[in-house]
Chain A
Amino acid sequence: MSHPYVDLPPSAFWRTAVAEVDRNCFPGLYEPRLTLVPATGVATAGSCFAQHIGHRLRISGCNVLDAEPVPAAMNETVAQAFGYALFSSRTGNIYTTRQLRQFLTDINEGYVDARFVWAKGPAFIDALRPTVEPEGLSSPKDVLLHRTYHLERTARMLRNADLFVFTLGLTECWEDRPTGRVFPICPGVVGGLFDPHVHAFRNLRYLDVLQDLEAIRELLHRFNPAMQMLLTVSPVPLTATVSGDHVMTATTASKAILRAAADEFVKTTPGTDYFPSFEIITQPASGGPWFEANMRRVSAAGVDKVMGIFLSAHGIMADPPPAPKTVGAPETASEADEIVCDEILLDEFSR
């Protein structure tokens, strides 16, 4: 008897793809559609988890582009505090597709909107990347000069990018009502003043995310028409939600929307691919748990596992990913500690 399941590959069956395979490697889980070779110019952006991807690609010898490289006289600690070497430009975390879309629009148009400067004590910060200058700058004019430089440098970098890796983090964001501009973090948390008449909570829906992704691709192609896009969904749960739902339910809804939109986008768009970092970290079949004791931060072993599978699939690293650790086990030289996560700033308000 013949039916559609007869000729399916082992990766299509749970038993042969999950239950009975070496789950350290998950053969067939990720079969790249895009080419990544050492010469490929890679640009990275996204949420906290994207920092791991950029870092590991860099140390694996990939050509990770950097619009604003760390100046020679700046040490690693200072560089990290000021947002250097975390992504391919000093964007800070880009959590939502809407934020990335608006950022790329600004770069394309060379548009520097003077309205989005926040006061922080006696200093001023860029509302569109509020954590890259921890002490702020001395005037709004200085903030705008730095943003102009940032946009111009990023434009130059994107013209050399062959592959844009974006990690989708959140659907929840705060929007400036008059302009529709979204911020990476709620006004008032690290700077600026929250005004309920001006600032609105927005939880992006499936169609919002999908349309953003389509717009992002179009914007990226203005820099390089051949640029390819690789999407991942961050496995890091929300620190806090304003949706009214329990934070765990809100996390699931948010990640489901991002995952579904990414799936639709990749399935219908040439030159794109999806890497299942979310699945590797959150699926019980993957072992783990791959989180630290707070069940939010991805452990160094979890990052090793994700990036091991990714790099192996691209033939960049032959070593298999590590076996899981027991929950709460102390990390040795935890790379996860070095990740800069703005969203964690919200955690302060839960105490």
Chain B
Amino acid sequence: MTLRLCIFGNSHIAAMREAWRTNPGRWPDIEARFVGAHGDLLLQTEIRDGHLYPMTTESRDALKRLNGIESVDLASSDALVIAGCQVALNHAVQLKRSMRWIGLPTLARTPELAMMMPALVSYSAARASLCAILSDLLGPTLARHFRAGTGKPCWIVSQPRYSVAVTQTKKPHLKPYVAAVRSGDGASLSSLFHDAADLAARAAGATFIPQHPGTIRRDMLTATQYMRGAMRLSAREDLPQPPDDISHANALYGALVIEQIIAAVIGQTGPDLPDLDLSDVEQGGE
């Protein structure tokens, strides 16, 4: 029996689409459609009679130009998957700027908590805060949109953590992230993000699929082998991300995510990385 997946996403969908494109026949009995659009264009749509239709000129252009379609048949899908769409660990890092909770190694090293500028909060308060932030982002919002318009089960896939290469970057906006990696708080931040994203997805009627643990380094980073050679979401299939991109994953990563999605949808636990033979999966772009 064929499992029909409809995978939506922003720029992060390119990794999966590239994996699918460059590995024909790897996933027999799976039928996958990829619908990508930038920004919130996927939200500028309406669902009627089991179909997703664009409601604005921009979303119509995005469906046509990036996907070659005018509408999406949701009713014929077994599962709707949302990839990336801002559900990312960096929101936990931003949270840490105004609050700290027990379990963060940096908190344990703080001599006078009452003098600390960020507030001491409970883990559950931090999780609820992060859940509220994530709930308003594109992924969960899109899930609510899909769930309201269809009865289809929905999954939200984590955006990949920044590449290991981020530790070498000089970009000012990434400094807090790098500082968090170096602080030793990574495991705690990662755990908080996982819990909050899980809650946010459930509140949106979806299920959260975390980043595959085998791709993660130092709790907060993605191994370069899964990031190097990432492709853009564009009408052209061979347009790579710029060399200094640290946000987007490649087809090797995309293949792993497809495996995770399949396992999740058919109700199995996630794949165990060492048992997966991905040596023949094209990385694309390099």
Contacts and interface: CB of A to CB of B under 8 A. Distances in A.
Contact of B99 (A71, A136, A153): A71
A324 to B, nearest CB: 37
Interface in B113-142: 113-114, 118-125, 128-130, 132-133
B129 A156 contact: no
Interface in A95-149: 133-138, 142, 145-146, 148-149
Contact of B97 (A72, A78, A135, A145): A72
B99 A138 contact: no
A194 to B, nearest CB: 25
A153 B116 CA distance: 10
A73 B128 contact: no
A287 B94 CA distance: 50
B5 to A, nearest CB: 33
Nearest to A78: B128
B132 A71 contact: no
A72 B98 contact: yes
Interface in A33-83: 68-69, 71-75, 77-78, 81-82
Interface string B250-280: 0000000000000000000000000000000
Contacts of A81: 128
A139 to B, nearest CB: 9
B113 A73 contact: no
Chain B CB within 10 Å — which of A72, A148, A156 has the most? A72
A78 B99 contact: no
A248 B172 CA distance: 64
Given A71-B99, A135-B124, A145-B102, A77 B132 contact: yes
Contacts of B133: 73, 75
Interface string B97-113: 11100100000000001
A152 interface: yes
B178 interface: no
A146 B98 CA distance: 16
Nearest to B118: A71
Interface in A260-283: none
A130 to B, nearest CB: 14
Contact of B98 (A71, A133, A138, A148): A71
Given A68-B119, A149-B120, A74 B114 contact: no
On chain B, which size bracket covers the interface? 20 to 34
Contacts of B187: none
B124 A134 contact: yes
A326 to B, nearest CB: 37
A85 to B, nearest CB: 12
Chain B CB within 10 Å — which of A73, A75, A146, A152 has the most? A73
Chain A CB within 10 Å — which of B102, B121, B123, B133 has the most? B121
B129 A74 contact: yes
A136 B124 CA distance: 8
A152 B114 contact: yes
Interface of B is mostly: helix
B95 interface: yes
A82 B128 contact: yes
A133 B122 contact: yes
B92 to A, nearest CB: 10
A82 B121 CA distance: 9
Nearest to B121: A71
Nearest to B92: A73
Nearest to B114: A152
A82 B94 contact: no
Nearest to A123: B124
B48 to A, nearest CB: 32
Given A72-B97, A149-B113, A142 B129 contact: no
Contacts of B97: 72-73
A262 to B, nearest CB: 32
Contact of A73 (B114, B122, B129): B129
Nearest to B132: A75
A4 B202 CA distance: 73
A152 B113 CA distance: 9
A69 B120 CA distance: 11
A143 B179 CA distance: 29
A153 B120 CA distance: 10
A138 B123 contact: yes
Contact of A149 (B114, B123, B128, B129): B114
Interface in B130-163: 130, 132-133
Contact of A78 (B98, B119, B123, B132): B132
A152 B112 CA distance: 10
B98 A73 contact: yes
Contacts of A142: 102, 122
B120 A146 contact: yes
Contacts of B123: 137-138
Chain B CB within 10 Å — which of A68, A74, A152, A156 has the most? A74
A195 to B, nearest CB: 27
9 smallest beta-carbon distances between A and B, as pairs: A152-B114, A71-B98, A72-B98, A135-B124, A71-B99, A74-B129, A71-B119, A78-B128, A73-B95
22 contacts: A68-B119, A69-B119, A71-B118, A71-B129, A73-B97, A73-B133, A74-B98, A74-B121, A74-B125, A74-B129, A75-B132, A75-B133, A78-B129, A78-B132, A82-B128, A135-B122, A136-B124, A138-B102, A142-B122, A145-B120, A148-B113, A149-B114
